[in-house]
Amino acid sequence: MRTVFDPADLSTGRFYRLLTATIVPRPIAWVSTVSADGVANVAPYSFFTVASTSPPVVQFTSVGRKDSLRNIEETGEFVINVASVPLMDQVNASSAAFSHDVDEFAAVGLRSEPSERVRPPRVARSPASIECVLHRVIEVGDCFVVMGDVLAITVRTDVLAGDGAPDFGLLAPASRLGRAEWGLTPQVREIERPAL
């Protein structure tokens, strides 16, 4: 037996709850930006993934027009910081609807540090950050898909494994589930891809 949910029969809010409790776990892009006036902003976005590998392009989705999107449209730059488990409370705090002129790093007690290639600062305690310039914004329904060309990924050296990529356990990314639920670092099992 299955229950069938048709978006035509449900309110937007009800279907949103279904989508976000079904498509889980979602990694969290902790997006830092600056406004044209230089005010820093940081906010979490869990509708986040890779758009292209070569050239490397990443994307996140703004449901409606929010300050992060506005800043990116103004400056053409953003940074996606990994939202790690030890930082979860500050990630959540940064999702409050602060007014546009509030420095959200200061508002949530978060230390920033300069990025390597772009003006928006990165979250100092985040284990890895992806520095982007705006590729394009695509409007889809009530959302805006923001794509960024990756200029650099910076990884704290202590979370790098021997192969030069982040170790999952040390990176310890938090994830977003449905409702008010968050995922902690899950267990890992290695499986090799089948050879033809």
Ligand X SMILES: Cc1cc2nc3c(=O)[nH]c(=O)nc-3n(C[C@H](O)[C@H](O)[C@H](O)COP(=O)(O)O)c2cc1C
The residues of the shown chain that bind ligand X, judged by CB under 6 A, are 28, 41, 43-47, 61-63, 66-68, 92, 95, 97, 176
Shorter beta-carbon distance to ligand X: residue 38 or 194: 38
Q: For residues 112 and 92, what is the distance between their CA atoms, to the nearest angstrom? A: 17
Shorter beta-carbon distance to ligand X: residue 45 or 105: 45
Question: 27: cis peptide before it, omega within 30°?
Answer: no
Minimum gap (Å) between residue 177 Cβ and ligand X:
9
Shorter beta-carbon distance to ligand X: residue 142 or 161: 142
How far from 134 is each of 52, 95, 112, CA to CA, in Å?
Answer: 14, 22, 21
Helix (H, G, I), strand (E, B) or coil at 27: strand
Minimum gap (Å) between residue 196 Cβ and ligand X:
37
Minimum gap (Å) between residue 42 Cβ and ligand X:
7
Minimum gap (Å) between residue 43 Cβ and ligand X:
3
Shorter beta-carbon distance to ligand X: residue 104 or 131: 104
Residues of 2-33 as b/e, b for ≥16 C-beta within 10 angstroms? Answer: eeeeeeeeeeeeeeeeeebeeeebbbbbbbbb
